[in-house]
Amino acid sequence: MTFKSKEQKQQDKEKNKDTYVSTVVQHLKLSSLGYAVISDILEHANSLYNTLTYNLRQGFFVYSTLNFQSIAYDLQTDFKENYHYKMLQSQAAQSVCHKVAENFKSFKQLLDKHYIDGSKKPKLPGYRMPGGMFEVTYPGQTVKIEIEHGIKFATISTGIQFRKLRKEDVVGTKLNEYIKLRVPDTVETSTLVELTITSKHRQIYAHWVCRKKAEVFTALDNSNVLGIDIGLNNFVTCIPNTGKEGFIINGRPLKAINQFYNKTVSKLKKGKDVDFWSGSLARATQTRNNQVRDFIKKSARTIINKCLESKIGKIVFGWNQGIKNEIDNGRVNNQNFVQVPFTALRDTLKYLCERYGIEFVVVEESYTSKMSFFDGDELPVFGKETESQKKLKPSGKRTRRGEYKTASGSIINADAQGASNILRKAKIDTSKITYKVCQVLKTINIWIGKKLSKRKGTVASLSSSTAISATEPAQ
């Protein structure tokens, strides 16, 4: 098998233009014997990865080039008799070959770019840690689906050599012949493309990848636009240009997750070396990552659901390139800010917008919080200001936390005015946005928990708090 040409990739793109890929991640709860079998397979995949990488590195050192067009096919044919290759199912072993080949292909592209424009010279792909575990991928056609007592199970056969050598280790079971996993209820097995089994922090996960038909929403109006301003306490502030009520997603739970994680890490690493690592640290890190990922996904889903409900056909997302570089908001705020994955939110929103046919635009957001929206202050681009723009002073000013005072003395929500300015910077019609829209916003709590106390005397206290669950929109 060779890499696909540009024409083949374009054909695949046309073929799948009305579909989207959905991935369900499942944390596998395994018995000690089941864990031993799957971890053994992943360790063989890791050893095969290092073997293939060593071979290609040595070939590059000797010949200074490789046949990158047939590299995947060559690996599959040359290493069929390799011990680690034969311990894996043939399709799983081929998936490892393709991943190694992709790494070297990317290296070649970066190397060519280095010689053309003098960019940083890339390093050859390196080795994985000996004894570690590497992911294996099984195509959908190799996964057998069975139903037992109304429950769906997926069966995957093991490698030929694995069946022979592990026959005595798993006496009384069929674990040397196949792996049996329960299929999550949210996975549509008829659309299954591939199943990837991977490991993180010594825990085993299954990634069920399905290709589904995209939903078509013809009622969306591209003249209805939602402006998004990102922050900390107010994770996202969304203002529509339709004159309807905006909303805020409460970001305090996300801050609490990171603060608790930092305290846990500090306690576990007290008196230890900087590079100290342990199982407790790994579990704490994985728990924190899972919680943050859940918050990001549900936040993005909430925004998209709101757009579909209001027939909004365009989203303008405020963004500054290098948003976390050289940030200087104080030690505490710096720590809170840099640990929030705003890029993940942006990319998730972009993916969902493509899925539902919503136009997604990223706009540089400098000066949007400083300049007054209702006074029509000019919004230059940071680093590209003219001399006259550098001397501009905002008509309004930030007074208390969360408040912005316009030239007329009206108090509005500071983040709402930032989101409104983001719309204005994208050349969107904002004539329907009123003072009331920027004063009273609905607060959405992604996770339902203890009700947070509200600060009195600020615009933020005018917001109504609503707890919601992030679900699929009604079709």
One DSSP character per residue, 177-246 reads TEEEEEPPTT--GGGEEEEEEEEETTEEEEEEEEEEEPP--TT-EEEEEEEEEE-SSEEEEEEETTSS--
pLDDT of residue 9: 66
Q: Are 459 and 400 in contact (CB under 8 A)?
A: no
Structure confidence at residue 6 as a pLDDT band (50, 70, 90): low
pLDDT of residue 14: 75
Residue 212 has pLDDT above 90, yes or no: no
Please state the domain extents for the chain: 18-213, 221-467
The encoded tokens of residue 369 equal: 């919080």
Residue 268 has pLDDT above 70, yes or no: yes
Report the chain's mean pLDDT, rounded to a whole number.
85
Element (H, E) at 412: strand 411-413
More confident residue, 422 or 379: 422
Structure confidence at residue 174 as a pLDDT band (50, 70, 90): confident
Average pLDDT over residues 242-247: 92
Question: Of 45-59, 186-200, 274-288, which gets the smallest average pLDDT?
Answer: 274-288
Question: Measured between alpha carbons, how far is 46 from 67 in angstroms, rounded to an integer?
Answer: 24
Q: Percent of the chain at pLDDT above 90?
A: 51
Question: Of 48-52, 70-74, 137-141, which gets the smallest average pLDDT?
Answer: 70-74
Average pLDDT over residues 51-78: 85
Q: Which range among 14-23, 148-157, 457-466 has the greatest average pLDDT?
A: 148-157
Structure confidence at residue 142 as a pLDDT band (50, 70, 90): very high
Q: Are 21 and 211 in contact (CB under 8 A)?
A: yes
pLDDT of residue 456: 44
Q: Within 13 Å and on the Cβ side, how many CA atoms surround 398?
A: 13
The encoded tokens of residue 197 equal: 């089994």
Residue 329 has pLDDT above 60, yes or no: no
Q: What's the predicted TM-score (pTM) here? A: 0.76
Q: Which range among 161-175, 320-334, 444-458 has the greatest average pLDDT?
A: 161-175
More confident residue, 171 or 310: 310
